Amino acid sequence: MAIAPEDLTPPLEAEHWRLLGCDIDGTLMHWGGDISQAVVDAMQQVRMTRNHVVLATGRNIEATLPVAERLGIRRGWAVCSNGAVTIKLTPAKPGGYEIVNTLTFNPRAALELIREEMPDAFFAVEDGGLDFRVTKEFPMGELSAEQRVVDFEDLCHDDVTRVVIRAPGADVAHFDSIVQRIGLNDVTYAVGYSAWLDLTPPGVTKASALEVLREQLGVLPGHTVAVGDGNNDIEMLRWAADSYAMGNAPEQVVEAARTAIGPVDEDGVLDVLLPLVDPARSAL
């Protein structure tokens, strides 16, 4: 579904607004699953001062909604599934959201290539940013959505928004080298902290989805801000005019950002949020 122009009418004086693309896990959310009250309060202040806050995450829709609720974001936008799905948050819709953009691809070629290298891995495909079809159930807590176990062949029939491959116990560097060697030219991929691989449609990233929103909302390119900590944030950090990598981010992510800030367990993201409310409070 394309984003309807009437849903994206820029606010008055749109050229003065900023757009913040904000990762969730390892950025806003501590590793134990908590978001501090200080971050919640700061996020609410940011949203009240001419800033579009867009959660930009690898999470699917159902796993994103509780985070938006915790942050008090009931209206606005969220980029899910690493850019393959964009939702509009609105209390007027069932569930509090509507899907406004979905990008898909056929996963067969990528799945077959990776299965040759990792026949014992966990394989999953995401249907429309909602549920997953899996070859075997992922470890508890790793996929925050309903999992339906199917044969490998059943993963390959239909176009999907995302593919997830998980190889518990595998070395991350080895996992990355396999991906580089086999070549995945028809998808966009990001390797996680663990042996975890996300595949999305070609050219689809958090940055590509945020750029669509930026253009439609009338935000100037120089008024874009991004903060993240993972490999799936690299394109977003390069896209933003002002970008920040969390202190817990790996080297390649820090190199993609303009500024490094404190780690998530110290609420380093406050060094991004508070200056958006009051530039005089910038500690950077």
Pick the range with the lowest mean pLDDT from 104-108, 120-124, 137-141.
137-141
CATH number at residue 166: 3.30.1240.10
Q: pLDDT by residue (tens digit) across 1-16?
A: 444 444 444 444 545 7
The pLDDT of residue 174 is: 75
Task: Kindly report the three-state secondary structure assignment for every residue of the chain.
Answer: CCCCHHHHCCCCCHHHCEEEEECCECCCECCCCCCCHHHHHHHHHHHCCCEEEEEECCCCHHHHHHHHHHCCCCCEEEEEHHHCEEEEECCCCHHHEEEEEECCECCHHHHHHHHHHCCCCEEEEEECCCEEEECCCCCCCCCCCCEEECCHHHHCCCCECEEEEECCCCCHHHHHHHHHHHCCCCCEEEECCCCEEEEECCCCCHHHHHHHHHHHHCCCHHHEEEEECCHHHHHHHHHCCEEEECCCCCHHHHHHCCEECCCHHHCCCHHHHHHHHCHHHCCC
End position of a domain, from candidates 159, 178, 200: 200
Same domain, 134 and 153: yes
Last residue of a domain, one of 200, 217, 236: 200
Residues 85 and 32 in one domain: yes
Share of the chain above pLDDT 70, in %: 92
63-114 pLDDT tens trace? 999 999 999 999 999 999 999 999 999 998 889 999 999 999 999 999 999 9
pLDDT digits (tens, 9 = 90+) for 173-224: 777 788 788 877 778 888 776 788 889 999 999 999 999 999 999 999 999 9
Pair 32, 87 in one domain:
yes
- What is the pLDDT of the chain when averaged over all its residues? 89
Range of the domain at 137: 108-200
- One domain, residues 239 and 270: yes
Q: Which CATH number is 255's domain given?
A: 3.40.50.1000
- pLDDT given for residue 13 in this prediction: 52
| Predicted local distance difference test score (pLDDT) of residue 190 | 82
32 lies in the same domain as 94: yes
Phi, psi of 165 (to 5 degrees): -120, 130
Domain boundary among 147, 179, 200: 200
One domain, residues 67 and 117? no
What domain count does the chain have?
Answer: 2
Span 255-272, pLDDT tens digits: 999 999 999 999 999 999
